[in-house]
Structure 1
Amino acid sequence: MRVFICEYVTSGGLRDKPLPETLLPAALQVRDALIRDLETLPGISTILAYDDRLPKPSEDSVPVGKGDDAWICWSGLAHEADVVWPVGPETGGVLARMVRLMNESAERLIASSPAAIDLVSSKLRTAQVLAQNFIPHVPTYTLDAVPADLKGDLITKPDDGAGSENMRAWPSREALPRTGRLVVQPFVHGTPVSLTVLVRPDGVTLLAANQLHLSHLVGVLSLTGVTVGAIDDTDGTLAVLAQKVVAAVPGLSGIIGIDVILSPSGPLVVEVNPRVTVAYAGLHAALGISPAAFLPELIRDGRPPAMPHLPRPRPVELDLR
C-alpha cells in the first residue's frame, strides 16, 4: 500500500514565498514522524513531494521547484497512491482545499470531511457549536461584538488562524485593535493543553493529553514547545470531553487535536484542529507504538482490530524553537 504524505509547508505549498521560520520546525517534525510511523507498518511505503529548498527526505521524493504548481504535482502523486494523508493549516481554507483536491484523486484519505474542516476553521463558529451542545469553552467574540462588561486581559487571533499564529495579548477592551478578521477571547488562567484524539467509525479515543509551552513577549504569544503525554487523565474527564466535541462536529476523522485550558473551574475548549498537530511528532515515543497502526484507512479491508488498552503515555519533550 502506497501512502502519499502531503504536508503543506514541506511539500512545496509555499514554494513561491519565503519559508516561514515559525512554522517550518513543527512542519518538519510532523512530516518526519509520519514517514517513520508509516514505514514501520508492514506493507506500507510512502510517496513524498518536497520544497526543493529543503533537504530531500527520501531518494525518490518529487521536488517542487521555483515556478512549479504544487497543487498539480500533488494531484498527480495522489493518483499514484492508495491512501493520501494531507496535513496543512486551516488558514485561508488551505486544508479544506487540500482535502477536496485529494478526494478527486485518491480512493482513501486520512482526513476530516471538508464540511467539518470548514466549520472548525472558524473559531467563532466553533464556539457557537460548542455552546449549542453545552460543551464548556472559552467565550469567543468578533471585534465589533465584545461585551462592554468584558474586563481583564484579552486575547486576539485570526478567526481562521492555525495554532498560535498571530496570537496577541491585550490589557483591556479599550486596547484592542479596531479592524481585522480577528476574534477576541478572555485570557483564562490555567494550563494550556492539546488533546491528541483518534476518531474512527467505531469510537473516539484520547491518545495523549499534552502540555503546551507558550512564550509571551511584548504582547505576542508563541508556541515554543510541547510535552506530549504530560497531563494525566486518570478520571477520564478529558476523554469524555473529547467524545463530546467529536459528537458536536460530524465529519471529524483520523488523528485530530483539541486545544483546552485546564482552568480552576474545569477544562474549557479553546479550538479544534481537524488534523494532526505538532504533538504527533512525539506520540510514537510517548505511546510505545505507532499511532498510525490504529487507522482504518491503512488496513486493506478498512477494518482495523479493536483499540487495545493503552498505557499512560510517557512524557516526551518537543522543542519548537
Structure 2
Amino acid sequence: MRVFICEFVTAGGLRGQDLPETLVPEGTRMRDALIADIEALPGVGGLLLAHDDRLPAPQASSVPVGANDDPWAIWAGLAAQADVVWPIAPETHGLIARLIRLMRAQCAHVVACDLAAVEICSSKFLTAQRLAAMALPHVPTFRAAAPPPELTGPVVTKPDDGAGCENTRRWASPDAAPRDPDLIIQPFVEGTPASLTVLVRPDGVTLLTVNRQHLTETDGMLSLSGLTVGALGEDERLARLVPAVVAAIPGLSGIIGIDIILTPAGPVVVEVNPRITTSYAGLHQALAINPAAFLPEFIRDGRLPAMPHLPAASPVEVVLR
C-alpha cells in the first residue's frame, strides 16, 4: 500500500509567493509526525511526498516543486500512483476543499471529511450559525462589516476562512475594529485557550486529548507560539460537548480539531477544523499509541480495529516559535 501525504504549505502550495513564518513550522511538524506514524503501519509499502524546493526534502524520494512548476498537477500525478491519500491544507480560500476534490478525482481512498462538512467548517460564521441552531455553546460570530449594536467591550477580528491565528487581532471595542467584509468579529472571551483532538469513526467519537494553546499578543495581533498536547483533563462537560459538535456537522471524519475556550461557565467552541491540526505533532507521544492505526482507511481487509482503552495522556510540548 502506497500512501501520499500532501501537506499544502510544505508540499509547494505557496511556491509562487513568500513562505509565511507562521504556517511553515506548523505544516512541517504535522507532516513529519504523520510520516513517522504512517511508516510504522503494517502493510505500507512506501510514501509519496512532494516538497517546496525552498524547504528541506522530508525524504530523498520526495518530489521537489520549483518556481515554474504547477503543484496541483504534481500532486494529481502522485495521487494517481497512491492507494491512499491524506491531504492537509488550511481552510483559507477553500484550499482544503479544493485539495480534497483533486485527491478524490485521482484516488479511491482519501482520508478526509465530506465536502459538505468541510464547507461549513471553512467558514467561522457558518460554523457558529450551525452550533447556535443546535443550542451548543460557542463564541457569537458576526460579519465585521456590520457588527450588532449589542456587541460591546473588547473584540477579536479574523478572516472568516482563516486557519489558526491567521490575521487575528484584538481590539478595545467594536468601534475600533475595521469594517472589513472579509473578516468576522467576535467578543473577546476570557478563559483558557484550548483545543480538542477528536477521532471520528463510523462506530463512534473519541476525545483523544485536551490541549492547552499558548497564545502570544504583539501590538494586538494574536499568534500561536505552541501548545501542550494532553495538558488538560477531560470532564463531563467536554464529554457531552464533543459528540454534540460532531453530530451538528454531519460528514466529519478521521482526526479533527475543535478549538475551545475554557471559561468558568464551561467550554465554548471557537471553531472546528475538519483535518488534523498542529496537536498531531505530539499526539503519538502523548497517547503512547499510533493514532493513524485507528483509521479504517488503513485497514486493508475492511475490519475496524477495536478502540483500546486510552490511558490519561502524558503532556507533550509542541514549540512552534
TM bucket, shorter chain: over 0.9
Unaligned runs of 5+ in 2: none
The residue that corresponds to 1:101 in the other structure is 102
Displacement of 1:303: 2.3
| Matched length | 320
After TM superposition, what 4+ stretches of structure 1 lie above 6 angstroms from structure 2?
A: none
Deviations 1:61-104 (A, max 9, x none): 11111110000110111011010000000000000000000110
The residue that corresponds to 2:241 in the other structure is 241
Residue identity in the other structure for 2:245? V
Please state whether the residue corresponding to 2:21 is helix, strand or coil. coil
RMSD of Structure 2 on Structure 1 (CA): 0.9
The residue that corresponds to 2:155 in the other structure is 154
Distance 2:268 2:153 in 1: 18
Say whether residues 1:51 and 2:16 are aligned partners.
Answer: no
Correspondence list, 1:58-73, <5 A: 58-73=59-74
Distance 2:189 2:115 in 1: 31
The residue that corresponds to 2:206 in the other structure is 205
Please state whether the residue corresponding to 1:282 is helix, strand or coil. helix
Range with bigger deviation, 4-13 or 295-304: 295-304
Distance 2:39 2:135 in 1: 41
Correspondence list, 1:168-183, <5 A: 168-183=169-184
Displacement of 1:17: 1.1
The residue that corresponds to 2:282 in the other structure is 282
- Give TM-score scaled by structure 2 length: 0.98
Residue identity in the other structure for 2:202? P
Deviations 1:77-135 (A, max 9, x none): 10110100000000000000000001100110110111111111110010000011111
- Give TM-score scaled by structure 1 length: 0.98
Deviations 1:123-148 (A, max 9, x none): 00100000111111010011233221
The residue that corresponds to 2:12 in the other structure is 12
Displacement of 1:237: 2.3
Displacement of 1:203: 0.6
Say whether residues 1:24 and 2:28 are aligned partners.
Answer: no
Residue identity in the other structure for 1:255? I
Distance 1:208 1:259 in 2: 12
Identity %: 62
Please state whether the residue corresponding to 2:12 is helix, strand or coil. coil
Note if contact 2:145-2:178 (Cα within 8 Å) is conserved in structure 1. Answer: no
Residue identity in the other structure for 2:113? S
Distance 1:230 1:126 in 2: 26
Unaligned runs of 5+ in 1: none
The residue that corresponds to 1:41 in the other structure is 41
Displacement of 1:305: 1.1
Residue identity in the other structure for 1:207? L
Displacement of 1:149: 2.4
Distance 1:212 1:303 in 2: 35
Range with bigger deviation, 38-47 or 87-96: 38-47
Residue identity in the other structure for 2:188? F
Displacement of 1:52: 1.1
Displacement of 1:56: 1.5
Distance 1:285 1:236 in 2: 25
The residue that corresponds to 1:272 in the other structure is 272
Distance 1:231 1:201 in 2: 26
